[in-house]
Structure 1
Amino acid sequence: ICTVIPDRPTLDVQVSDIRRLPSMAYRNNLTVFSFGQLSAPVKGLWNDPTPDEMWVYLHRMRNGGEAFSLGHSFPSWYDRFWEKNPRNPDAWVEEHPEWFAHGYKGRPRPTQVCYSSDAVVSQTVADARAFFDAQDGKKNQNRFYALGPDDNDWFCKCAACIKLIQPRPKGVKSDHFSNGRASDYWFTFCNRVARELRRTHPDKYVSALTYSCYAAHPGFQVEPNIALNLALEGNMCIDDPQNIANRHIWELYGKWVASPAGQRPIVLYLYTEFPEAAPWGAGYTTFPGFRARLSARQIKRYVKDNIFGILAEFPTTQLNQYMYNQLTFDAEQDAETLINEFFDLYYGSAAAPMRKLWLEIEEVFTSPENWPLDPDNPGKDVGISERTSWRLMGTTERMSRWAGYMSEATAAARTETEKARVALFRKAEWEPMVRAKQQWDNKASHDNDIEALKQAPPPSARIARLKTPAAGDAGKVDWGQVQAIPITRDLYGYPAPPLRPDTREVAGEVEARVAAEQAAGAPRAEIRLAHDGRHLYVWLREHVGADGLAMGSSVFTGDGWELFWAAQRDKPYRQVGITPRCAFEAHAYGELSTWESGIKIAAELKDGDWTTILSLPMTHVVSGGLKSGQTLYFNAIRHYAAPVPTVALSPHFVRNHHVPERLAALVVE
C-alpha cells in the first residue's frame, strides 16, 4: 500500500550521464532495529512493515553512505576486563578492576571506566589500532573509531577524575540535560587517545560522543583527528529564540560548528522518535509531530554548516522521513516541490484534503506559541505534554475542522489504493488523535480536583504492628488483618482509568467481577504495610486481567513496581524496582554507597491478580534504621509495558518518579 510506483503507458529511456555528490556523506535516516519499539501511530502509518520490507525501503532511498562508527563504546569492557561472562566466555582477556570507576562500593559492578587512567587510555588506543588494522584491504573502510561513555553520569570518583568534573549547580531545580559539566573530563580522555592514535594512523579519526553532561564544547581545543557525534536532546521541534530550552540546544550546536572543531566530520544524532515517544509509560498519545517544512529548513542549515551526516534514532512519520531521505542526499531540492510530489503521488484524488490536514497539523505543531515554557523550570528540555497536546494544539475547533478534512479525503479517494491509504491514515493517526482528545477532555473535567490535591499534603496512613512476628517471611503475615491502602490515581493526580480497556476482553466470572468493581470505583491497585519490630512487610496487588504481565529490558521498564523510602521528604532516599519475576534493583540517592536492602520478594499471578509480597530488615529501610513511632516517607509507583497511565500512591503531578517532597507519610505503630 505504501509503495508508489508511477504508471506510464510508454517507457522512454533517455541516455545521459549524471554525476552527483550527496549533500551528506553519511545518511543513516532510519534504523530498522528500532522499528518494533515505535508508537502505534507511526508504525500504523507505515502499514506495520516487516524488517525485510524496511531494508528494501532503505536501499531504495539510498540510505547509507560512508561508514561512521558512533555511540557508547565501553559495554564490552565488562566481559573483557571486569569478570568472565559464561554467556560470552570468548570475550574474556584478564581482570583489571582498577580500570573501572572508583567510589561505588556495594554496587554489583561499576557503570563507567576510569577515564583518567593511563592504562585505560593505552588499552583504548590498542583497541582503536586493532579496529583499523583489521580493515586493511577491505572496501568502504571505516575511518572512524567510536568513543562514548556508558549511558549514565556515574563517573569515577578518584581524585584525578573528580577534579575535571563540575558539580551539579546548587539551587537549580533542573539543569539542562545537554550541558558541559563533564566536557573537560571526557574530552581530556578523547584528546589523549587521539594524539596516540595519530602516531600510527594519521588518516583515521576517533568519533567522540557529545551528549548529556559532556555535550558542550570543553574549555580547550579538541584534537584535529576527533570527529564528533552530536547527540543533543529533543528534536529541535521549533526554532524559537524565546524558548530557553530550544535556544540552549542551538547555542550548543552553534559553538561546536563555529569552533575549529567544526572543520572536522560531525554527525548529528537526531531523536526523531519525538514527540511520539515522549509519553512512553505515561499512558497517553501526543499530538503528532508533523514537521516536513521545519525538517527541510534544518537539513538545509546542516548542509550549509558542512555537517558530515545524520543518524535518525527511530523512524518518524512518512512525510518527515521522505524529507530526510531526499534532502540529505540532495539538499538543493525545493521542499514545497517534494511535499506536493508526496501528496499527489501517494494520495492521488484525495491529495488536496490530505495536504490541508497534514500541513495544518504541522503549522500547529511547529508554532512557538504552542510550546509554553514551564514557569517553575524555564530551562526544561523541549518536550510535549498531554496538556500541551490536547489543550493548546488539538483544540476542539481544530479537531472539528480536521474531521471535515478526513471526511473530504474519504469521499475524494477513487481507486482502491487511494482508499486504502486514506483508511491507513485514519486508523493509524486520526483515530488515536480523536481518542487522545477525548481522554484529555475527560481529564480536564477534574482540573479543580487536581489543583486541590496539589495544595493538600501528600497522603498519610499507618504501618500496623503485627501481633505475631513473621520472622522476615512475608508469606506468614495474615494480610487479611492489615488495612489496605487504595491506589486510585495516576502519577499526575487524575483518577486511574480501568486497566487496558482497549486490549482486554471481559469474559468469565473473574473478569466480570473486576469490571463491576471498577465501574463501582474500586481502586486500580492496593498496598498493605506491616511490621513486627524487626522487619517491614509490604503487600501489593493489582488486577492485570487476561493480558497478564510483560517483562522489560530492565527492572524499570515493562510491567513493574517502584517503591521509595526515606526518613524525610528529601535526600537521602532509597528506591526498589521490582519485576513480575521478582528480579529487583535497590538504589540509594544522596548517600555514599549502594543500599544493601536485604529484601526478600515473592509473587503470584492467579485469576488475573498480580500479588507481590516482600520483607526487609527495619534496620535497612532508611539510613539509621526504622523504629516504632517514626514516620516513614514512602511511595509506590506502578509502571506498565502497555500504554496505560502510571499510577501512584502519592501523585507527583509531573512525569518524574523521583520527587521526594511528594512522599506519603506512614507512621510506624
Structure 2
Amino acid sequence: MKKKVLSCLILCCGLLCSGFLQAKKSFLLEGAYIVTSDSSTNTVRLAAVELQYFIWKTTGFKPEITSRIPVGSKGIFVGRSRYTEAMQLADKPFGEQEYLIDVTPERIVLMGQDEDFQSEAERNKGRDNNGISPEKDRPVLDYGLVTGDDSVNGLMVPLPSIYDAQGTCYAVYDFIERFLGVRFFGPSPENVFIPEARKIKVACQQIRRAPAIKYRHGTYTFEWPIVKEQYMGATGDMQQLFIRRLRMGGRKWAANHAFTGYQDRFLRKNPKRPELFESYHPEYFAKGRNGGASERQFCYTNPGFIRQVAEDAVRYFREGKTFAEQIALGDYFAIVPLDNANWCTCEECQMQLALDKANIIGSHFNCGTATHYIWNFINNVAKEVKKEKIMGDKKLTALAYHVYAYLPKDIQLEDNIAVVPCLHPRNYWVPGMERNEMKFYKAWIEESKKSGRDVFLWNYLCFPTERGIISNFNVFPGFNIHKSGEQIRMYAADRVKGVFFCGTGEQLDFYITMRLMDDPALDIDLLMDEFFDNYFGQASKSMKAFYTKIESVYSDPKNYPENIQTEEAQFHQTEEIAWRYLGTPDVMDDLRLTIEKAQKSAKSDLEKRRVESWVNGVWKYMLKGYSSFNQK
C-alpha cells in the first residue's frame, strides 16, 4: 500500500505520481543555493529565476543562483549539470515533457526533459494555428515589469518558446505550486496568490510525472470582454509569462485551414507578394465557383491538386519550409479545406458529394454531408506522401469539422493521418448538440484505438462571448467549468494527444482548464474553493456564490427555450436567450445582492481590487446587456 506523500501546505491539491516519505526528514529552504549548469538554456534560466523569486517572496530568504556551490552547502539543483550527472538520478531517460522533483535532507533536484535532440532549424520550423513560428516565440522580458516588483527591475529574462522542451520549467512550477503554495490565477501581478512569508520545510520524496495531455494551446482571448477586466491591466509581456507558468504549449502540432495561399501561387500573381506565384493551374480550383483566397474552394478530386498538396507536405517534412499561410509544426502538416461548403461542381466531385447527401442528424452544423468527398481527398494525399518514404513519424493532420465531421465508415484511412474532431463543450446546454458531437467523437476515438491514430481536439471555448462580439450584444457569461472539466477527464481517459482552445475562456474557467489538462485527477470543487478562498479572502463565500449562480443558470438546458431542449440542431446564445431566458429579473436581483455582499465583505485593498475586477468585468458587463435588451 502506497504511503501518503506529505506536503508542507495543506492547501496543496496536486496528486503525486510517485513518492515516498522518509520519516521525520525534510529539506529546509533557508540557506540553500540554486545551482544550474554553466551553459544554461532559456528554459533553465527562466526556471531558476522564477524559483528564486518565489522562494524569496514566500520565505523572506533569497537564494543565490550559481553554477558552483560551496563545499558543504545545501543545493537546489535546477536542470542538468555536472552535479546532477554525478548523482545518477534517472534510471531511464525522461519521456515527453516528463520531469523529476527529488527531495532529500541534503538537496533538491528539479529537472526534466529539456533536450529535444534537434538542430536549430528543426526546432524552429513551421507555423502554429496562430501563425507563430517557434523562432519568433522567445521574447526577452524585464522581470521587474512583469512581476510588478521594482527591486528586480532591469533583470532581463529570455523565455523559451512554448514549444521548446521545458521539463525543468514544469518541475519548478510544480514545486512552486505544490510546496510554496503560490497560485497563478492570472497574468497580472495582482492575479498571483503568494502566501505570507514563513519558513518552509519540504518533506523528502520523489515525484516523477508529465502533463497528461501533451498539447495544450489556443487562441488567446485575454483582451475580450469579461476577461480583460479580470486580468487587471496585464500587459502583453505579463501574458507571455503567464501562459508559460500554466504550461501552455507542449508538443509541436498544428491544424487549421491552410490553403489560402494557393490563389497567389497557382491562379494569379498578387502584386503585393508576386514572389509566391509558381505556375498557372486553374484546374486546381473549384469549378463553377469564384471568390477570394479564403472563399473559393478547390477541386478535391483533381489528381494534380492532390499531388501538389502532397508535394507541399513532403517539402515541409524534408526541408521545414512552409509557404504563404500553410500551417505545420513539428511532425505534423495540416491539410484542411477552406472554411465554407462551396464545393466544386465538376462531375466527379458532385458524384462523391451525392454519397453523403443524407448523412446528417437533424440540422446540425457538425455532420457528414461531405464525409466521403473530403476524407477521400485527405486519404489520397496521405497515399502520395507515403510513396516518398519520409523518414520518421510524420503525419498529415486534418480537422473532423462541419460537413466532414463524421467518421467515413467505409474508407480505410491511412495511418499517417492525425484527426481533429471539433467540439463545442460550452454549448452543451443544447442536449441534441452534445449527443451529436459525442457520437462522432466516440466514433473517431474507437477508430483510433484500432488504428493507433493520433487524435487531437479543437474546443470552441470562445462561445458565447464571440457570438456577442459578432452580433453586438453583451452575453450571459458562459461559466461552465464543471461541464468542461468532465470533458477534459474524458479526453485524458481516451488518450487524446492534445486540445486546441479556440478562445481561452474567463479567469476561473481558464485556470482550472489548464490545471486539469496537466492533471485530470484533480478535484474541480477543491480547485474552486482554493481559488475563491485564496484570491478573494473575506469575500470568497459571496464571490463563489456569484460564480456558481451564473454557472448553474448557464449550464442547465431547462433554462432555455423548449425547442432548444428537444431539437436536433446547433444553437448559439442570442440576445433574447441571454436576457429573456437566462438573465431574468429574479436571477439578476440574486446576483446583484451577492456581488454587493462581496464588495462589503472584502477587507484588504488587494481583496477589494480583485472583487472590483469582477464587478467591472462581469457584473457591469451583464448589467449593460440586461438594460440594453429591456430598453428595446
Which interval holds the TM-score relative to the shorter structure?
A: 0.5 to 0.7
8 Å contact 1:370–1:388 — kept in the other structure? no
The answer on 1:252 being equivalent to 2:440 is yes
Q: Deviations over 1:604-632 (max 9, x none)?
A: xxxxxxxxxxxxxxxxxxxxxxxxxxxxx
Aligned to 1:287: 476
Alpha-carbon distance, 1:156 to partner = 1.4
Paired AA for residue 399 in structure 2:
L
Structure 2 distance, partners of 1:119, 1:169, is: 26
1:268 is the counterpart of 2:457: yes
Q: AA paired with 1:77?
A: Y
Q: Tell me by how many angstroms 1:239 deviates.
A: 6.4
Confirm whether residue 206 of structure 1 aligns to residue 391 of structure 2: no
Equivalent in the alignment of 1:296: 485
The 3 A distance-change label for structure 1 pair 312 and 108 is: closer
> Over residues 357-395 of structure 1, what are the superposed CA-to-partner deviations in whole Å (9 max), with x where a residue is unaligned?
111211111112123353799233132222222222222
Q: Quote the residue 1:51 is aligned against.
A: 236
In structure 2, relative to structure 1, the CA distance for the partners of 1:105 and 1:244 (3 Å cut) is closer
Q: Are residues 1:156 and 2:344 paired? A: yes
Q: Kindly indicate whether the alpha-carbon contact (under 8 Å) linking 1:99 and 1:117 is maintained by their aligned counterparts in 2.
A: yes
Corresponding residue of 1:8: 197
The alpha carbon displacement at 1:225 in A equals 1.6
Rounded to whole Å, the distance in 2 between the matches of 1:194 and 1:168 is 22
Maintained 8 Å contact 2:368/2:406:
yes
Q: Which has the higher strand share?
A: 1
Structure 1: how far apart are the matches of 2:214 and 2:580? 42
Partner of 1:222: 413
Shift of 1:135: 4.6
- Written as runs of structure 1 = structure 2, the 5 A alignment for 1:125-524 is 125-135=310-320, 142-166=330-354, 175-199=363-387, 200-201=389-390, 203-220=393-410, 221-232=412-423, 234-238=424-428, 243-260=431-448, 263-374=452-563, 378-443=567-632
1:92 Cα shift? 2.0
Distance 1:167 1:276, change over 3 A: farther
**Which among 227, 246, 250 is matched to residue 61 of structure 1?**
246
For residue 119 of structure 1, what is the aligned residue in structure 2?
Answer: 304
Q: How does 1:633-644 map to 2 (within 5 A)?
A: none
Any idea what the Cα deviations from partners look like across 1:417-439, whole Å, max 9, x if unmatched? 11001011001110121222223
Alignment RMSD (CA, Å)? 2.7
What is the TM-score normalised by the length of structure 2?
0.64
Q: Is the 8 A contact 2:367 2:402 kept in 1?
A: yes
Q: Tell me the distance in 1 between the aligned counterparts of 2:565 and 2:213.
A: 40
Task: Map Cα deviations across residues 291-315 of structure 1 (whole Å, 9 max, x no partner).
Answer: 1111111110111111111111112
**Larger % of helix: which?**
2
| Structure 2 partner of 1:26 | 215
Decide whether the 8 Å contact of 2:476 with 2:578 is kept in 1.
yes
Partner of 2:162 in structure 1? none
Q: 1:168 to 1:286 in 2, by over 3 A?
A: farther
Letter in 1 for 2:466: A
Deviation (angstroms), 1:409: 0.9
CA contact (8 A) 1:237 1:291 kept: no
Aligned-partner Cα distance in 1 for 2:612–2:409: 54
1:188, CA displacement in angstroms?
0.4
Equivalent position amino acid for 1:227 in 2: A
Post-superposition CA distance 1:620-668 (Å, at most 9, x none): xxxxxxxxxxxxxxxxxxxxxxxxxxxxxxxxxxxxxxxxxxxxxxxxx
SS of 1:19's equivalent in the other structure is strand
Task: Tell me the secondary structure at the aligned position of residue 208 of structure 1.
Answer: strand
- For the residues of structure 2 that align with 1:156 and 1:134, how far apart are their CA atoms? 32
Amino acid in the other structure paired with 1:175: S
> How far does residue 10 in structure 1 lie from its aligned partner after superposition?
2.5
- How far apart, CA to CA, are the structure 1 residues paired with 2:292 and 2:191? 49
- Give the conservation status (yes or no) of the 8 Å contact 1:47–1:424: yes
- Distance, in Å, in 2 between the alignment partners of 1:290 and 1:254 is 25
SS of equivalent residue, structure 2 residue 436? helix
Q: Secondary structure in 2 aligned to 1:382?
A: coil
Q: Is the 2:357–2:369 contact (alpha carbons within 8 Å) kept by the matching residues of 1?
A: no
SS at match of 1:341: helix
Q: Which consecutive unaligned segments of at least 5 residues does structure 2 have?
A: 1-189, 322-327
CA change 1:297–1:375 in 2 (3 A) is closer
- Aligned equivalents of 1:386, 1:105: Cα separation in 2: 34
Radius of gyration: which is bigger?
1
- Cα deviations across residues 84-129 of structure 1 (Å, max 9, x unaligned)? 2222222221111111111226989971121111111111111111
**SS of alignment partner, residue 352 of structure 2:** coil
Give the gaps of 5 or more residues in structure 1: 444-669
| 8 A Cα contact 2:260 2:294, kept in partner | no
Q: Give 1:174 shift.
A: 7.8
Cα distance in 2 between the residues matched to 1:439 and 1:146:
43
> Aligned equivalents of 1:375 and 1:58: distance in 2?
36
